[in-house]
Structures are given as C-alpha cells and as structure tokens.
C-alpha cells in the first residue's frame, strides 16, 4: 500500500514531459514571486497611506510574505537541481497551508481569501499533473466547509453574510466552481501531456526516417557521419582504436540487368540482413549509396577489421546459395582504415577507407585492401 501511494505521489518525470514541466515550474515560481512583491507593495501603501489601516494586521502579512518568499527560494533551488515534481508539491502545499490559516484567522475575508485556493490547484496541475490534483482539491473543499462554519459562529450576527441564505448560496457556488475547475484543469493537463507525447513520438519517427535507408532498413550516410564524428572524438580523447570498412558489391549491375531492379532490391535487402547478423551490437552497418556499404567498428584495429570482413564474406556467400544457382555468387571489394594519431578530423579516416576500397576494386573482385597498402604510418596499436 505504501509503495502504491509513493508511486502515485512521486510521479516519474518522463523525458518528453521533463522540459515542459521544468519550464512551467520556473515560470510559475517567477510569477508567484512577482505576485508576492506586488502584494507587499500594496500592504505598505495601505499601512502608511490609508487611514482605515489602523486595524490592519500588517505584522501577519509580513510574516506570511517572508514565509512564502523562503519557500519560493527553496523551490527555485530544487527546480535548478531537477527535482521539479517535489518542488511542485512543496509550493502548492505551502500555499494551501497559508491560505487555510488566513481564512481561519480572518473569517471576515473568507469570500476574498477562498478564491486564492485556485492557485495551489493550478500549480499542482501544471507542474505535477495526473490525479494528484484531486486530493488537494478535496482538502480545499473540506477547509472551505470548516471555514464557512467558523465564519458563521464567530462573526457578528447582525452583519454575518455567511449566516444568510445568500451566503450559503455563494459558498455552494464556490464549491461547485472549485470542483469543476479541478476537473477541467486535470483534463487540460492530460491533453497537454498526450499532445507532448504525440509530438515526441512523431519527432522520434521523423528522426528515425531521416537516419534510415528506406530500402534495406540500415542506417544511411547521414547517420553514419553523425556516429562517426561521435566515435572519432571518443577514440581521439581516450586513445582508442576505431576501424572503418567500405564495401562495394561486385557485379551488382549485372544482377540488375539480368534479373531486374526489383530482384536487385531484394538482393540488397538480403545482403543487409546477412551482414548485420554477424556484427556486434556496437558496430554500425550503413548503406551509403547504390551497392555500397560502410561498417563503423568501435574499439577495433585493422587486424580486427580484417576478421570482420572475413565474417561478412562468409555470410554473404551463404546468402548467395539461398538466392539460387542462377544468381552469381555475391562478393565485395573492401577498403579498411583506422584512426591515426595525426588525424584531426574523421574525413581523413573516410578518405583512406575510400581510397583503399577503390584500390581493391581496380585490382579485381572479392579483394580487400587497407590503409597499410597505401602507406605505412604509425597507428594507435600494433596493427599490420
């Protein structure tokens, strides 16, 4: 039971809603601070300039303003630390307590002060959301009922509005408005939440589409470049190996010419599936155009990349057998590169892989060349 209550109160600040709630919390805290300053200025003006302020409880207002101000400072610090949900609870409950104390100490102002009960409801709805708005609204209704009874007993009977049928009617309407507003704020909170979730989901889908090759389902060149930049920076920072393989299928044009482009597309999809099946989860296989592919290999030296190429060849050969004897055995030419100490950008890594792949392609089908075949520069490790 305690765990369920805790899960209900300490709502998980979902990633797609975190920014919205943090923004609302900061805005509400600033707005409350502005209202507090305005109230203080009005109090000072009334105390010094209005003649009827003799009976005005200026001391209580100053204590109340100081207390709320301290709460706002504490809440602001919690928001800065990312504890937005707890900050929303603290601010709304603190205001609820202050308003409750005020309407009991000054029953003659019940009609005025009770309208301030909307503020805690709005705060908890905007910052915390979900069903937590209802317990607070129920507590406010109980306080209003008790405060109304207190006002009927303590105020002068001759001028006691709360003892009349008009006072009861006004009080009843106020309860109904509070209940209705609570429901509307909850529905609005849910609508905003669902809208943000939907937009977040659509954004993720658009990002996925922008990073995915529509034919094979592999990553595209754009995503490869983004990941290559990230892995290149990591490799340079921690002095770790990073390999890159460029692949170009042999004789793919003849397959398209003899069997048609639809069959050629199926060959590309089968090729993508077979190669991805033998790679690690940390490796990135991307189609960079036509029948060309690239494999990004974090924590992999030239020797390790050579082993990956061997596995890819075996997997592709098995795929060829499943396509039937009429289809020529699938093979590819590969170019391998690895990050060097002197590399300032990942463009050098790309260029060497492309040059090595071109060298393999011009030398014959099914060949592999690496940057070692281009020159002999020191690498991060003792590669070939």
Contact 340, 380 (CB under 8 A): yes
**What is the number of other CB atoms lying within 10 angstroms of the CB of residue 342?**
8
**What is the number of other CB atoms lying within 10 angstroms of the CB of residue 183?**
12
pLDDT at site 54: 46
Shared-domain flag, residues 35 and 164: yes
Shared-domain flag, residues 235 and 363: yes
**Per-residue pLDDT reduced to its tens digit, 145-157:** 888 888 888 876 6
Greater pLDDT, 348 or 21: 348
Length of the chain in terms of residues written: 384
Q: Are strands 368-370 and 332-338 parallel, antiparallel or unpaired?
A: parallel
Shared-domain flag, residues 188 and 244: no
> What residues make up the domain containing 320?
221-373
Q: Which of 13-27, 124-138, 288-302, 344-358 has the lowest mean pLDDT?
A: 13-27
- Provide the domain count of the chain: 2
Spatial separation of the C-alpha atoms in residues 84 and 78, rounded to whole Å: 7
pLDDT at site 381: 45
pLDDT category at 307 given cuts 50, 70, 90 is very high
Shared-domain flag, residues 344 and 236: yes
- Report the DSSP beta bridge partners of residue 244: 296, 337
Shared-domain flag, residues 89 and 201: yes
Spatial separation of the C-alpha atoms in residues 77 and 90, rounded to whole Å: 12
pLDDT of 332 over the 80 cut? yes
Percent of the chain with pLDDT over 90: 42
Shared-domain flag, residues 227 and 202: no
Number of H helices, E strands in the chain: 13, 5
Spatial separation of the C-alpha atoms in residues 190 and 188, rounded to whole Å: 5
Greater pLDDT, 10 or 215: 215
Shared-domain flag, residues 243 and 200: no
| Predicted TM-score of the model (pTM) | 0.59
Shared-domain flag, residues 267 and 136: no
pLDDT at site 227: 94
Last residue of a domain, one of 148, 176, 206: 206
What value does the CA radius of gyration of the chain take, rounded to a whole number of Å?
A: 35
**Per-residue pLDDT reduced to its tens digit, 87-112:** 999 999 999 999 999 888 888 878 77
Domain assignment present for residue 381? The answer is: no
Average pLDDT over residues 359-364: 90
Q: Helix, strand, or coil here: 311?
A: helix
pLDDT at site 260: 87
pLDDT of 377 over the 60 cut? no
């Amino acid at each position: 039971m305690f765990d369920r209550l805790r899960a209900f109160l300490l709502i998980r600040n979902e990633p797609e809603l975190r920014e919205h709630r943090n923004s609302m919390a900061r805005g509400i805290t600033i707005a409350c601070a502005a209202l507090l300053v305005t109230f203080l200025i009005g109090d000072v003006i009334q105390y010094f300039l209005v003649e009827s302020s003799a009976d005005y409880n200026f001391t209580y207002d100053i204590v109340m303003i100081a207390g709320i101000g301290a709460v706002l400072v504490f809440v602001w610090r919690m928001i800065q630390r990312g504890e937005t949900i707890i900050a929303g609870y603290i601010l709304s409950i603190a205001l609820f307590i202050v308003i409750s104390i005020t309407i009991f100490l000054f029953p003659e102002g019940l009609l005025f002060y009770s309208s301030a009960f909307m503020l805690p409801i709005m705060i908890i709805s905007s910052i915390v959301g979900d069903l937590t708005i209802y317990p607070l609204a129920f507590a406010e209704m109980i306080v209003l009922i008790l405060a109304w009874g207190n006002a009927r007993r303590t105020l002068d009977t001759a001028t006691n509005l709360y003892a009349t049928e008009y006072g009861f009617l006004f009080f009843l309407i106020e309860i109904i408005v509070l209940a209705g507003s609570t429901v509307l704020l909850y529905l609005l909170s849910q609508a905003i939440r669902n809208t943000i979730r939907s937009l977040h989901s659509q954004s993720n889908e658009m990002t996925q589409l922008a990073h995915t090759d529509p034919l094979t389902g592999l990553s595209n060149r754009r995503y490869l470049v983004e990941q290559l930049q990230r892995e290149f920076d990591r490799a340079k920072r921690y002095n770790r190996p990073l390999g890159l393989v460029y692949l170009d299928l042999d004789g793919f044009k003849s397959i398209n010419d003899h069997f048609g482009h639809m069959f050629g597309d199926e060959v590309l999809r089968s090729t993508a599936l077979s190669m991805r099946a033998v790679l690690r989860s940390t490796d990135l296989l991307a189609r960079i155009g036509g029948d060309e592919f690239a494999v990004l290999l974090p924590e992999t030296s030239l020797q390790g990349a050579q082993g990956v190429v061997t596995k890819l060849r075996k997997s592709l050969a098995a795929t060829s057998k499943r396509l039937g004897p009429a289809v020529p055995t699938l093979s590819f030419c590969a170019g391998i590169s690895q990050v060097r100490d002197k590399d300032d950008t990942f463009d050098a890594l790309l260029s060497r892989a492309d040059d090595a792949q071109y060298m393999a392609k011009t030398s014959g089908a099914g060949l592999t060349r690496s940057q070692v075949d281009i020159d002999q520069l020191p690498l991060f490790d003792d590669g070939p």
